Amino acid sequence: MSIPAALAIYFIIWWLTLFAVLPFGVRSQVEAGSVVPGSEPGAPQRAGMLRNVVWTTVIAAVLFGLYYINYTRGFITLDDIPFLPRAVLD
């Protein structure tokens, strides 16, 4: 695997992980009891993006490590997925 390919795969994993991590620990203004006039009541009281980026980076690194180990060792291959049609594998 080339370095640009590895970086592209890591970026895709990182981006998908970010969207999975974003809602964790977010309290809306209504839940916090301090709705700012003129804003959406469901908007977060504090975004906490630095915390989200750190967690996203850690989780994405672990997931990419698992992907890379599987890629180099071949634990799970396309032949191991039973529902793929044979035309996809050829």
The pTM score is 0.74
Task: Provide the pLDDT confidence category of residue 25 given band limits of 50, 70 and 90.
Answer: confident
How far is Cα 56 from Cα 35, in angstroms, rounded to an integer?
Answer: 28
**Which phi and psi angles does 28 have, rounded to 5°?**
-75, 170
**3 state SS of 28:** strand
**Which phi and psi angles does 79 have, rounded to 5°?**
-65, -20
pLDDT the model gives residue 60: 97
Angle value at C-alpha 31, between 26 and 35, nearest 5 degrees: 100
Q: How remote is the C-alpha of 6 from its chain's centroid?
A: 16
pLDDT the model gives residue 87: 60
